[in-house]
Amino acid sequence: MTKISPEFEETMHMEGILPVSVDVSFASNQFPKYKLGPDNQILEEPQDDDQGPSLKEVIEQETAQLSDQHKRLSVRDLACKFDKNLSSAAKLSDEAKLREVPSLEGHVLLKKLRDALEYLKGRLAGRNKEDVEKAISMVEALAVKLTQKEGELIQEKFEVKKLATFLKQASEDAKRLVNQEKSFACAEIESARAVVQRIGEALEEQEKNSDDSNKQDVDGLVEEVQEARRIKQLHQPSKVMGMEHELRALRATIREKSIISAKLQRELTMCKRAAENKSCFYVLDGSETLGSFLRIKCASDVAPPLSKCSIQWYRMSSDCSWKQVITGATKSIYALEPLDVGRTLQVEVVSNGQKVNLMTTGPIESAAGLGTHVEMLLRKSNSEFNVTISQMNGQDYASNSVHVFHVGKMRMKLSRGWITKARENYSSSMQLCGVRDDRSTATKALFWQGRKGLSFMLMFESERDRNAAIMLARKYANDCNVMLAGPDDQA
């Protein structure tokens, strides 16, 4: 039997215990996981370095994002998010439960280590005993730290449970909202379906009513067509055409008779006035149509000469209820102008204190085709007439060169080639009328005063051009609120 000495036993124990420095530093802030190796040695399990954020931080970050974006997300998206976070919280809770087992193993190991160190402390002395005491203090520090980590783990577990409860409640609320919205949507769909069905029924009824009304309208039209055909068969087309020809012939006959009647009435009036004027010294001679002139003639050899008589022409209404003085018409010849159309003319001859009044047989008539010619000229913006200047400012004009008289909608102009004699806008100072003297060419002459101090007597190529120019100028001036007439003429 071998005997072991106390020195050998002490040496053996000291060789099995390694000295531990008091300045030990731990690689992480978590309590390491240990397992028993051979000879009851405490071995630290290797840990995988995870550089990414922890699962708790990910859950908190996503929860903050959900809190910021819940107003922009739909109810269904919120429900999905809450379900996802609820599963993550459950996973974190399971991980916390798994951490409890290594924590219990750590307490058991520390207790065993402390017991072993206490045993060695009682057996050793000197420097080795001090080292064992230091090791015991280190084990106690590790136990304290382990206890702190357990407290933090409990607090983390509580927060995880609280977060899981919140997420579960939010998920249930989201599901309830989804179900509520789903029920609302189903109700709206059913309501819309009912409305569509009612609209369809109303459309079908409307189509049915429209078909019935169209059928009635067609039946009515068919009846009207049949009635029209029956009436057409009763009246033969040949008889209708014959009646139309007879009506046209009657209208033509009535028109001819009315013309003849007017001529007879005029001749009768002239005969009556001739009988009345047998004792008169003067008579009127000339056509009572625009474009011609009237002349006073002596009807008796004993009549005073017209050069020694005072003469004045008047315009009268068609019923002779009033008369208007024609200023400047004091000669024995008077050229008719457009203002005389539709009026009866009267001339007053005074000789040796005796007054003789002569009248036309009726209203003055317009020239044939003049109205159509004027309407054609009105379609143009500017009408031009070839004229010669007879007088300028009351003095005879020496040149007989042809000038162009422009009658526009806003102004009148007299020019020869590029030279402009006068160009004046329509104004109250402008005057325009036929020449009122005893010339035989007065029917082609026109008096135009562009402004005060500038007047012309123009000679046209024909009576129609002269009368058309007067009518156009008065029409355009009237559009400019200006009345064109002769000197001292009344509107």
pLDDT, tens digit, 9 for 90 and up, residues 137-192: 887 787 788 788 878 878 887 887 887 788 778 778 877 887 888 888 888 888 87
What amino acid occupies position 423? R
Of 357, 355, 354, 344, give the one whose Cα is nearest residue 277.
357
Query: Do residues 282 and 304 lie in contact, with contact meaning Cβ atoms separated by under 8 Å?
Result: no
The percent of residues above 70 in pLDDT, for the chain, comes to 73
pTM over 0.85: no
Query: Do residues 365 and 343 lie in contact, with contact meaning Cβ atoms separated by under 8 Å?
Result: no
Query: Looking at the chain, how many residues does it have?
Result: 491
CA distance 428 to 434: 18
DSSP characters for 165-211? HHHHHHHHHHHHHHHHHHHHHHHHHHHHHHHHHHHHHHHHHHHHHHH
Burial label for 373, CB within 10 Å (0-12, 13-18, 19+), is: middle
Domain boundaries, the chain: 54-225, 235-279, 282-359, 370-479
Q: Between helices 463-479 and 370-378, what is the axis angle to 10°?
A: 50
Which residue has tokens 């819309």? 192
Mean per-residue pLDDT, 415-422: 92
Burial label for 348, CB within 10 Å (0-12, 13-18, 19+), is: middle
What pLDDT is recorded for position 423? Answer: 94
Of 481, 487, 489, give the one whose Cα is nearest residue 427.
481
Q: Under CATH, which number does the domain 54-225 receive?
A: 1.10.287.1700
Radius of gyration of the chain (CA): 66
- Enter the tokens of residue 168: 């579960």
Mean per-residue pLDDT, 219-248: 74
CB atoms closer than 10 angstroms to residue 183:
10
Q: Under CATH, which number does the domain 370-479 receive?
A: 2.30.29.140
Confidence tier at 415 by pLDDT (50, 70, 90): very high
pLDDT, tens digit, 9 for 90 and up, residues 357-401: 888 888 888 998 999 999 999 999 899 999 999 999 989 988 889
Of 113, 101, 105, 104, give the one whose Cα is nearest residue 41.
113
**Cα–Cα separations (whole angstroms), residue 444 to 219, 312, 468:** 71, 21, 11
The listed CATH number (1.10.10.10, 3.40.50.880, 2.60.40.2700, 3.40.50.300) that belongs to domain 282-359: 2.60.40.2700
Strand partners, 345: 315
pLDDT, tens digit, 9 for 90 and up, residues 71-98: 555 555 655 666 676 676 667 666 666 6
CA distance 340 to 367: 12
Q: Which residues of 38-53 are buried (b: 16+ CB within 10 A; e: fewer)?
A: eeeeeeeeeeeeeeee
User: What's the whole-number average pLDDT of the chain?
Assistant: 78
What pLDDT is recorded for position 38? Answer: 61
pLDDT for 424 beyond 90:
yes
CA distance 308 to 305: 6
Strand ranges (DSSP E) for 267-401?
282-285, 293-298, 310-316, 323-325, 333-335, 344-351, 354-359, 382-392, 395-396
Of 459, 471, 476, give the one whose Cα is nearest residue 412.
476
What pLDDT is recorded for position 98? Answer: 61
> Given CA atoms 332, 335, 339, 340 in this order, what sign does their dihedral have?
positive
Of 66, 62, 64, 61, give the one whose Cα is nearest residue 77.
66
Of 262, 334, 253, give the one whose Cα is nearest residue 296.
334
Strand partners, 227: none
Helices (H) and strands (E) in the chain, counts: 7, 17
Say if 54-225 and 370-479 have the same CATH topology: no
pLDDT, tens digit, 9 for 90 and up, residues 12-52: 444 444 444 444 444 444 444 555 566 555 555 545 444 56
> Alpha helix (H) ranges present in 42-126?
55-69, 75-123
CA distance 215 to 213: 5
Query: Do residues 460 and 387 lie in contact, with contact meaning Cβ atoms separated by under 8 Å?
Result: yes
Query: Do residues 488 and 326 lie in contact, with contact meaning Cβ atoms separated by under 8 Å?
Result: no
Q: Would strands 344-351 and 354-359 be described as parallel, antiparallel, or unpaired?
A: antiparallel
SS3 327: coil
CA distance 490 to 200: 78
CA distance 115 to 131: 15
Which residues 6+ apart lie within 8 Å of 314 measured at CB?
A: 323, 324, 325, 326, 345, 346, 347, 348
Of 46, 27, 48, give the one whose Cα is nearest residue 35.
46
Of 9-23, 54-68, 127-141, where does mean pLDDT reach its minimum? 9-23
